[in-house]
Amino acid sequence: MLRNMEASLTARDRVGIQDFVLLDAYTSESAFLDNLRKRFHENLIYTYIGTLLVSVNPYKDLDIYSKKQMDTYMGVNFFELPPHIYALADNVFRTMLSEFNNHFILISGESGAGKTEASKKILQFYAVSCPSTKLLNNVRDRLLLSNPVLEAFGNAKTLKNDNSSRFGKYMDIQFDHQGGAVGGHILSYLLEKSRVVHQNHGERNFHIFYQLVEGGEEDLLRWLGLERNCQNYKYLVQGDCAKVSSINDKSDWRTVRRALSVIEISESDIEHLFGIIASVLHLGNVKFEADVRGYASLNNNQEMHWVSKLLGIPTQVLQQGLTHRKIEAKTEEVFSPFSVDHAVYARDALAKAIYGRTFNWLVNKINESLVNKDSSRKTVIGLLDIYGFEVFNVNSFEQFCINYCNEKLQQLFIQLTLKSEQEEYEMEGIEWEQVSFFNNKIICDLVEVKHRGIISLLDEECLRPGEATDLTFLEKMEETIGGHPHFVTHKLADQKTRKTLDRGDFRLLHYAGEVTYCVVGFLDKNNDLLYRNGKEVMRQSKNAIIKHCFPSSEPDSKRRPETVVTQFKSSLVGLTEVLMSKEPWYVRCIKPNDAKQPGRFDDVLVRHQVKYLGLMEHLRVRRAGFAYRRKYEIFLQRYKALCPDTWPNWKGTAAEGVRCLIKHLGYKPDEYKMGRTKIFIRHPRTLFATEDTFQVCKHKLGEMLFCTFTCNSTQTLLRVKLTVIVAATRIQAKYKGYRVKGDYLKQREAATKIESCWRGLLARKERAKRAWAAKVIKKFIKGFMTRNQPACVDNSEYLSYVRQNYLTRLRDNLPKTILEKDSWLTPPPILKELSQLLKKLYIRHMVRKYVRGITPQRKAQLLLKAQTSSMFKGNKENYPFSVCRPFLDTRINAEDISIKVLQMIRHEHIEYSVPVVKYDRNGFRPRLRQLIFTQKAAYLVEEAKIKQRMDYISLNGVSVSNLSDNFLILHITCDDIKQKGDLVLQCDYLFEALTKLSLIANKQNCTKVVQDSVRFDIQPGREGFVDFKSGQESMVYRAKNGHLMVESTTTKSR
């Protein structure tokens, strides 16, 4: 300790002060930052504020975490060596063993400040420093390897950090009476589930998704239905940065696989776990389309197949759960179909619920592997790695929860710091002086107080009936808490402040400063609702983990579940109770710059973090009374040489010796206090003055010892030798000084000349560079001014730049498909002709590429669709809705046609068949029939009977209306009165059937689209009519005039 104290005091001007408590200008932020900056540039990233450790992320590897460093800090007094996270970890460990009580280390800071790394270093130190047995080693390995697993499932790349923890983590490490790690327990808080379905630009989803796709074995990916390409999955590409240079997903995958085995998760559970991760990716690719009625329908059966297989849920059940909502009314259950937007919401809510509950299952599994089976009493060291205060350009619900958490922790931090200071003063018998500090209880109450707090208002708005929106929530806050000094909105602000707020914003004045929150999305994120039938679908899963996460025993109350913010508030209350029962230690992590560059110290950014981490507040509390305190024995041992009465040996008690020493040094009564076991010094300058006096005294003592030795010697020869040695040493020192001074002057002169030449060279280069730049700019401006003139010397380079720029932009913005041909980039006037030529060439290229890629089956389908288009496009109202529906070869399988009928027409090959409804010619009663097209004729079949045969030669034509009904009238030549007349049919596959008929009968122009009414022959000499009109619902009935009336709904074409 003496060595360290000496080093820290004498080297303070070069590397700053190791303990901010000794900072003389302790109220000055500038002095605080200067000291932090000075140490950072010397690669001294750790500094104390008493027992609080400040850590600055160096963004580079430092050789200070080796096994040798760990051994150096083991069992050493806290202030004996330079500040280090190992010193804090060791002091916590030894205090726990000696006092046999529980402790916790709070690690805080913003994203990218190094919280996760600090937590790892503490765990690694305990893994090395704790006693070792086979059992203890197993626990140690599980504690260490729980980190990469939780990082894979709970961490993600954000704009500020490539490995940002997107959840809060509190880990208890349990120790036996000998200091062996015998167990542990982990609590997680507020996993950012919304990241599963949405990522901002420049951010990624959770690491595990990319690790599985990039690092998973081929057999595993094949079993999961995945491809080794992250671009194929919607949930992985929204941030547009699936690949990150600083992240090795393949290597991390191997680490996670090994860690899962060490944590003792069975192979069966591991398979189910990866099946769930893959099912979330497939679920994200499920797409919905609107049917004729505007309801959501599924069209990508392949993705549904994989989700069904991996979760062990029948496809039909899964499809029902994604497209319908179950509504219970007394004893009835009604399934209400979703719109496309509601279906997408239900899909995303299900994906978030699956991932969130699986994460909780994983944390519980890790806890099971860490459980301590010994019932004897254990002491605990807790590690709390929690999100730091967050301020982004746009702050939403997540930032509100995180900053509320930091407000609560700041409140706890100040309370515990004041408590520990007060206890030390009382223990030493020194009067406690009240410390003034900003009490952020007013802000905590603004957020959490019952009935009038923001959380209560948000819950009330989420749960109330009627049209509740984010803006009504904002209005509710304005009405209820509009007069609060820490709350302001666009409506409540003055003219100047209003310019900085949008209408959907509100601003809170936190202890760390102002934060503006955008209210958009608050209600949705707070509800985070999973529809009840979504849970019921999951309960049918055969995946063991899903069955555990969605148990059938879970109460299915019709009451709405607790909102997200209420759950978070409750968990914070529980966390606060846990922390209040333990002794606190703190690690405050600081990010020196946003660019992640080593050696760069951004004063503005660091100043902001110092403010919101409460470092100045903590320093003021520690310095409110006395800056320096040390035990009497230690103080006397170092400074006893400064007083004749205490040097060289003091006979009395250490307290009396210190009293004698400070009396000799002339300490004023208000500069110090004498406690029971320690001396308390109020000002750092008093200690520094004492230390400077001690440094002078050391040199005098050395000279005195030497003189005493020479005077008391009885041997003259020895005196002569000593005199010669001293003289020679002095001469040698003088000569060496003279020679070194001459060399120094020569080097300084040479350096000055080199510096002046180098500066001249740089100045000439800069001048030439600026002259070239001015020439280029001048030429560019002249070219711009003459750009519309014919090509000449003045504008040739500018026009060349315009051509190159346009062609480059055109290359990056070419239409992706032939359907986007009209999105061609607008050319500058000089390139219009060239642009039109390039457009024609590129369109021909896309058409050729498209045509070559068409399969024979697809080509046949397109030919049929083209025929249908020529017959009905622009003529029949519901034609557009048939375009997206593929035509089938037949609508009735051979096994569904009566054997008798097949035998009767066995000589004719069946080309197509379809179910129809035939309306009687007299009375218009509907009859279910089958319409069969063969090579020669059309047959109308009733079960085993052929009711009518129509040769294609006798087919005069087909009439359909221009409305959205499915009626067709087959007009047949009827010469004999006994022959049956025209057929009135209704067919759900009208366009498909008529297209097939036109091709099979080779009557492409036989279909006629009519308006209002169609006349048909009942039999020769008798005629009937079918009238068509639009209405509010589809109906078919016999009108009063005896006509068949077909009423259909009006359909808006897309």
Strand partners, 1014: 1026
**Position 983 pLDDT exceeds 60:** yes
Token pair for 952: 């294609």
- φ/ψ of 710, rounded to 5, equals -70, -35
Q: Which phi-psi region, left, alpha or beta, contains residue 464 (left: φ > 0; alpha: ψ -120 to 50)?
A: beta
CA contacts within 13 A on the Cβ side of 495: 0
* Residue from 91, 161, 403, 998 carrying the catalytic annotation: 161
Q: What is the pLDDT of residue 575?
A: 85
CA contacts within 13 A on the Cβ side of 45: 27
Rg of the chain over all Cα atoms, to the nearest angstrom:
42
* Count of Cβ atoms closer than 10 Å to residue 809 Cβ: 11
* Residue from 303, 390, 448, 877 carrying the catalytic annotation: 390
Element (H, E) at 219: helix 218-224
908 Cβ partners below 8 Å, 6+ apart? 934, 935, 936, 937
When pLDDT is cut at 50, 70 and 90, the band that residue 281 belongs to is very high
Q: What is the pLDDT of residue 364?
A: 93
Q: Which phi-psi region, left, alpha or beta, contains residue 288 (left: φ > 0; alpha: ψ -120 to 50)?
A: beta
> Stretch 433-455: mean pLDDT, rounded?
81
**Position 591 pLDDT exceeds 60:** yes
**Position 60 pLDDT exceeds 50:** yes
**Position 201 pLDDT exceeds 60:** yes
**Position 1028 pLDDT exceeds 60:** yes
Q: Which has the higher per-residue pLDDT, 434 or 784?
A: 784
* Residue from 109, 321, 356, 388 carrying the catalytic annotation: 388
- Distance, CA of 366 to CA of 145 (rounded, Å): 10
Helix 134-154 / helix 115-129 crossing angle, nearest 10 deg:
170
When pLDDT is cut at 50, 70 and 90, the band that residue 918 belongs to is very high
With CA atoms as reference, report the closest residue to 877 among 934, 954, 961.
961
510-549 in b/e form (b: 16+ CB < 10 A) is bbbeebbbbbbebbebbbbbbbebbbbbbbbbebbbbbbb
**Position 254 pLDDT exceeds 90:** yes
- Alpha-carbon dihedral 150, 156, 161, 162, rounded to 10 degrees: 90
- Distance, CA of 528 to CA of 549 (rounded, Å): 17
User: What distance lies between CA 932 and its chain's CA centroid?
Assistant: 59
* Residue from 108, 164, 543, 995 carrying the catalytic annotation: 164
**Position 3 pLDDT exceeds 50:** no
- Distance, CA of 790 to CA of 242 (rounded, Å): 48
* Residue from 47, 116, 516, 795 carrying the catalytic annotation: 116
Contact assessment for residue 677 and residue 629, using Cβ atoms and an 8 Å cutoff: no
Q: Where are the alpha helices (DSSP H) in 231-293?
A: 234-237, 249-262, 267-284
Strand partners, 515: 508
Token pair for 969: 């009238």
**Position 1054 pLDDT exceeds 50:** no
Token pair for 256: 């996670």
Tell me the average pLDDT of the chain.
84
- Distance, CA of 637 to CA of 694 (rounded, Å): 12
**Position 713 pLDDT exceeds 70:** no
- Distance, CA of 173 to CA of 211 (rounded, Å): 29
Please say if 164 is a catalytic residue. yes
- φ/ψ of 983, rounded to 5, equals -105, 130
Please say if 1034 is a catalytic residue. no
Task: Note the pLDDT tens digit of each residue in 329-376.
Answer: 666 777 788 888 888 888 898 999 999 999 999 999 999 888 887 777
Contact assessment for residue 636 and residue 661, using Cβ atoms and an 8 Å cutoff: yes
The DSSP letter of residue 825 is P
With CA atoms as reference, report the closest residue to 184 among 363, 28, 416, 345.
363
Please say if 165 is a catalytic residue. yes
Q: What share of the chain in percent tops pLDDT 70?
A: 91
* Residue from 16, 50, 112, 981 carrying the catalytic annotation: 112
Query: Position of tokens 């703190």?
Result: 586
Q: Which phi-psi region, left, alpha or beta, contains residue 1042 (left: φ > 0; alpha: ψ -120 to 50)?
A: left
Q: What is the pLDDT of residue 13?
A: 47
* Residue from 57, 91, 108, 111 carrying the catalytic annotation: 111
- Distance, CA of 1025 to CA of 1013 (rounded, Å): 7
- Distance, CA of 52 to CA of 621 (rounded, Å): 12
Alpha-carbon separation of residue 170 from 132, 187, 368, 655 (angstroms) = 25, 5, 16, 43
When pLDDT is cut at 50, 70 and 90, the band that residue 566 belongs to is confident
User: What distance lies between CA 630 and its chain's CA centroid?
Assistant: 47
Q: What is the pLDDT of residue 188?
A: 87
- Distance, CA of 870 to CA of 860 (rounded, Å): 16
> Stretch 838-848: mean pLDDT, rounded?
89
Please say if 429 is a catalytic residue. no
Q: Which has the higher per-residue pLDDT, 532 or 449?
A: 449
Token pair for 1007: 């279909």
> Stretch 424-440: mean pLDDT, rounded?
70
* Count of Cβ atoms closer than 10 Å to residue 815 Cβ: 16
* Residue from 35, 119, 165, 205 carrying the catalytic annotation: 165
Please say if 1024 is a catalytic residue. no
Please say if 116 is a catalytic residue. yes
Alpha-carbon separation of residue 270 from 263, 273, 396, 544, 548 (angstroms) = 11, 5, 35, 11, 14
- Distance, CA of 928 to CA of 926 (rounded, Å): 7
Q: Is 1016 helix (H, G, I), strand (E, B) or coil?
A: strand
Element (H, E) at 658: helix 654-665
- Distance, CA of 76 to CA of 979 (rounded, Å): 114
Sign of the CA dihedral with 150 first, then 202, 567, and 359 last:
negative
Token pair for 575: 């966390």
When pLDDT is cut at 50, 70 and 90, the band that residue 4 belongs to is very low
Q: Is 875 helix (H, G, I), strand (E, B) or coil?
A: coil
**Position 291 pLDDT exceeds 90:** no
Token pair for 1017: 């022959």
Q: What is the pLDDT of residue 1051?
A: 67
Token pair for 986: 């209704």
When pLDDT is cut at 50, 70 and 90, the band that residue 913 belongs to is very high
- φ/ψ of 24, rounded to 5, equals -65, -50
With CA atoms as reference, report the closest residue to 18 among 106, 86, 78, 92.
78
- Alpha-carbon dihedral 529, 530, 531, 532, rounded to 10 degrees: -110
**Position 8 pLDDT exceeds 50:** no
Task: Note the pLDDT tens digit of each residue in 802-834.
Answer: 888 889 888 888 888 877 777 888 888 888 888
User: What distance lies between CA 997 and its chain's CA centroid?
Assistant: 57
> Stretch 585-613: mean pLDDT, rounded?
89
When pLDDT is cut at 50, 70 and 90, the band that residue 227 belongs to is very high
With CA atoms as reference, report the closest residue to 905 among 864, 948, 961, 959.
948
Q: Where are the alpha helices (DSSP H) in 288-396?
A: 301-311, 315-323, 340-370
